[in-house]
Amino acid sequence: MNETLVNIGIIAFIAYVVFSIALIIGMFIVMLRTGKAIQSFFKNTQGTVNAVLIETKSGLEHLRRVTENMHAVSTSIRQVSNKMETIEARIGSWYGMVKENIRSEAEANIAGLKSGFKTGIVTLVRNIKRKEINDNGKTR
């Protein structure tokens, strides 16, 4: 009976070894096929990947130039805006001075006209009164 158990153990071990070897060979064949597929993939895509990388590099360089140009344009716009602000401030101060000068001159001219009218009216009234006095004195 011991012999029978030993024989069953040996047969089970041999079956286990055969099954393990078959499994290892199957895995090895799958790994070979996978390696060939990966190699074929790299061979087929090598030119495409290089073209994509070259195109990507070109696109990134173009994008860098565009951003540099946008920076230059925004700097120019900022400078123009600052200049416009300076011009606006100068025009405002110039307008204020011109307005003040015109107001001062107009006030002086209006004061002169008022004075002239007043003097003219006073003189006219005096002359009219003198004429009445003269006319009254001669006729009466």
Q: Which one has a higher pLDDT value, 83 or 1?
A: 83
Mean pLDDT of 96-121: 85
pLDDT at 2: 80
Candidate from 46-50, 75-79, 125-129 with smallest mean pLDDT: 46-50
Asked whether residue 136 carries a pLDDT value surpassing 80, the answer given is: no
Beta-strand ranges (E) seen in the chain are none
pLDDT at 137: 62
Asked whether residue 44 carries a pLDDT value surpassing 50, the answer given is: yes
- Residue 52 CA to residue 57 CA, distance in Å, equals 8
pLDDT at 97: 87
Asked whether residue 84 carries a pLDDT value surpassing 50, the answer given is: yes
- Residue 107 CA to residue 115 CA, distance in Å, equals 12
- Positive or negative torsion for Cα 67, 73, 79, 82: negative
pTM of the entire structure?
0.40
Percent of the chain with pLDDT strictly greater than 70: 95
Asked whether residue 140 carries a pLDDT value surpassing 50, the answer given is: no
Mean pLDDT of 61-78: 91
Helix, strand, coil percentages in the chain from 3-state DSSP, rounded to 5? 100, 0, 0
- Residue 42 CA to residue 34 CA, distance in Å, equals 12
pLDDT at 139: 47
